Amino acid sequence: MHHAHKVVLALLLSAEKPLKQDQVELSLEEDVDLEKIVEEINQYLAEHEMPIEVQNIADGYKVVTRQTYEPYIDRLFQKNSKPGLSQAALETLSIVAYTQPTTKSEIDSIRGVNTSMKTLLSKNLVEVKGRLDAPGKPLLYRTTDYFLEYFGLASLGDLPKMKEIEEMLEDKEEQTQNQ
Amino acid sequence: MSYNIKLDVFEGPLDLLLFFIKRDEINIYDIPIAHVTSEFLDYIHMAQQMNIHLAGEFLEMAGILMRIKSKMLLPDKNNQDGEDVEDPRTDLVNMLLEYRKYREISKQFENREKFAARHYPAKVENNSDREYDPDLFLSEVTLFELSSLFKKLLQNKPEPQYYEIEKIDISIQEQRIYIMNRLEEKKRIGFWELSKDLDNKLEVIVTFLAILEMVKVNTIKLQQNDVFEEIYLEKRDGGEQIAPRA
Tell me the pLDDT tens digit for each residue of B150-193: 888 888 888 888 888 888 888 899 999 989 888 888 888 998 88
Mean pLDDT calculated for residue range B12-41: 90
pLDDT for A176 beyond 80: no
Q: For residue B4, what pLDDT is reported?
A: 46
Give the span between the Cα atoms of B215 and B194, in whole angstroms: 16
Domains A3-72 and A87-178 share a fold: yes
Considering only residues 36 to 55 of chain A, which have any Cβ-Cβ distance to chain B shorter than 8 Å?
52-53, 55
List the B220-224 sheet strands across, edge first: B188-190, B231-235, B220-224
CA dihedral B140, B146, B152, B158 (to 10 degrees): 120
> Given an 8 Å threshold on Cβ–Cβ distance, is A169 in contact with B99?
no
For CA atoms B214, B215, B219, B225, give the dihedral sign.
Answer: positive
Q: For residue B151, what pLDDT is reported?
A: 84
> Given an 8 Å threshold on Cβ–Cβ distance, is B143 in contact with A127?
yes
> Which sequence spans correspond to the domains of chain A?
3-72, 87-178
User: Does a cis peptide bond (omega within 30 degrees of 0) precede residue A101?
Assistant: yes
Mean pLDDT calculated for residue range B33-55: 85
- Give the mutation candidate from B9, B58, B91, B105 for the A interface (greatest A CB count, under 10 A): B105
The 3-class SS string of B128-164 reads CCCCCCHHHHHCCCCHHHHHHHHHHHHHHCCCCCCCC
Q: For residue B1, what pLDDT is reported?
A: 41
- Asked if residue B201 belongs to a domain, the reply is yes
Residues B145 and B182 in one domain: yes
Q: How many domains does chain B have?
A: 2
Region of poorest pLDDT, from A89-93, B90-94, B153-157: B153-157
The whole-angstrom distance between A48's CA and the closest CA on chain B is: 19
Mean pLDDT calculated for residue range B49-73: 86
The CATH classification number of A3-72 equals 1.10.10.10
Mean pLDDT calculated for residue range A74-102: 84
A135 to chain B, any CB pair closer than 8 A? The answer is no
- Asked if residue B128 belongs to a domain, the reply is no
DSSP-based three-state secondary structure for A159: coil
Q: Do residues A23 and A120 make contact, with C-beta atoms less than 8 angstroms apart?
A: no
Residues B193 and B224 in one domain: yes
Give the span between the Cα atoms of B239 and B183, in whole angstroms: 14
- Asked if residue B245 belongs to a domain, the reply is no
CATH class of segment(s) A87-178? mainly alpha
The whole-angstrom distance between B167's CA and the closest CA on chain A is: 50
Residues B109 and B144 in one domain: no
Q: State which residue of chain A sits closest to B105, comparing Cα positions.
A: A94
Residues B113 and B140 in one domain: no
- Asked if residue B181 belongs to a domain, the reply is yes
Tell me the pLDDT tens digit for each residue of B188-216: 899 888 888 888 888 899 999 999 999 99
Give the span between the Cα atoms of A89 and A95, in whole angstroms: 10
Tell me the pLDDT tens digit for each residue of A131-163: 998 888 999 999 999 999 899 888 888 888 888
Residues B89 and B139 in one domain: no
Which residue, among A30, A34, A3, has the nearest Cα to A21 in the 3D structure? A34
- State the residue range of the domain holding B202: 134-235
pLDDT for B11 beyond 90: no
> Given an 8 Å threshold on Cβ–Cβ distance, is B105 in contact with A94?
yes
Residues B78 and B174 in one domain: no
Residues B147 and B179 in one domain: yes
Q: For residue B84, what pLDDT is reported?
A: 63
Q: For residue B246, what pLDDT is reported?
A: 44
Mean pLDDT calculated for residue range B217-236: 88
- Asked if residue B177 belongs to a domain, the reply is yes
Q: Do residues A87 and B108 make contact, with C-beta atoms less than 8 angstroms apart?
A: no
Q: B119, B144, B165 — which closes off a domain?
A: B119
On average, the pLDDT of chain A sits at 89
B206: CATH: 1.10.10.580
Q: Which of the 8 DSSP states describes residue A156?
A: G
- Asked if residue B240 belongs to a domain, the reply is no
Residues B155 and B215 in one domain: yes
- Asked if residue B7 belongs to a domain, the reply is no
pLDDT for B3 beyond 80: no
pTM for the model stands at 0.61
Q: B89, B119, B149 — which closes off a domain?
A: B119
Q: Please count the CA atoms within 13 angstroms of the CA of B102 that sit on its side-chain side.
A: 28
Q: B119, B151, B181 — which closes off a domain?
A: B119
Which helix (H) or strand (E) segment holds residue A57: the answer is: strand A52-57
ipTM, two decimals: 0.77
A81 to chain B, any CB pair closer than 8 A? The answer is no
- Asked if residue B63 belongs to a domain, the reply is yes
How distant, in Å, are the alpha carbons of A87, B188, B209, B214, B243 from that of B185? 92, 9, 21, 18, 17
